[in-house]
Amino acid sequence: MIMRKRIVAGNWKMNMEIGSARELARSVCNDLATRADLGLGKGKEVVLFPPYLFLPEVVEICREFVGIHAGAQNCHQEGKGAYTGEIAASMIKSVGATHTLIGHSERRSYFGEDDELLAKKTKAAMENDLTPVFCCGELLPEREANNHFEVVKSQLVNGLFWLEEVAFRHVVIAYEPVWAIGTGVTASPEQAQEMHAFIRGLVKEQYSEEVAENLTILYGGSCNAKNAKELFSNPDVDGGLIGGASLKAHDFLQIIEAL
């Protein structure tokens, strides 16, 4: 039986201040509270990923609403220690967050995070009952060289496939073609479906068809109110990891409506 969750996640990145963050979270939650037709909590979820400083307040705002959660944009691989400026998964869990992003392309690119490190971060997240939203995706030169499938396979094999099946069942994967993030260029629905189906096929080979069919795979990469419906209509695209379009409540709601 397929019980695949459909999710729209908003990655706020390094944007806003506490007042605007509070206002955005309340606006999104209040708008969604009036939309029973969206089916939140019944196989559909919304997850907000604010900057760390705003996470406790966003958690409290989301707590009152069914099917709306808050998560962190990153976590450290160690449980505690002399890591000035870092945030442990246990700290994220302690404020009531439920998810964390792992391996966003900006973390890989700007901060040099590799697959070995991301595997450790995934382990830390799962040890603290956080749902890891594991990001994967290729650079433009890698796609142009027709190496995009091998790149994504390598990221998943090294970063995730060491997990036992019972743990892997709690993972969400986000495919984000790096060439489409913040560029205004979006992977075509056909390109998105092709990669999502490829990822699901890898999971089937590693684990089982049942695990693969129940895995949630999100698309991230200039997804917006105009193209979300076409992207989400693909059979293997289970929602989106939304960047810039998640910073405006009206636009974000339109994307959720497309789910």
Helix (H, G, I), strand (E, B) or coil at 97: coil
Give first-to-last CA distance, the chain, whole Å. 21
Helices and strands per DSSP (H, E), number in the chain = 12, 8
> Which of 69, 106, 176, 196 is flagged as catalytic?
176
Helix (H, G, I), strand (E, B) or coil at 219: strand
> Which of 69, 104, 148, 196 is flagged as catalytic?
104
| C-beta separation of 146 from 194 below 8 A | no
Q: Is 170 a catalytic residue?
A: no
| C-beta separation of 79 from 107 below 8 A | no
Please report how many Cα atoms fall inside a 13 Å half-sphere around the Cα of residue 175, on the Cβ side: 29
Rounded to 10°, the helix 148-159/189-206 angle is: 40
Q: Provide φ and ψ at 53, rounded to 5°.
A: -60, -30
DSSP strand pairing (44-49 vs 6-11):
parallel
Q: Is 99 a catalytic residue?
A: no
Residue count of the chain, please give it: 259
Instruction: Supply the residues annotated as catalytic.
Output: 104, 176
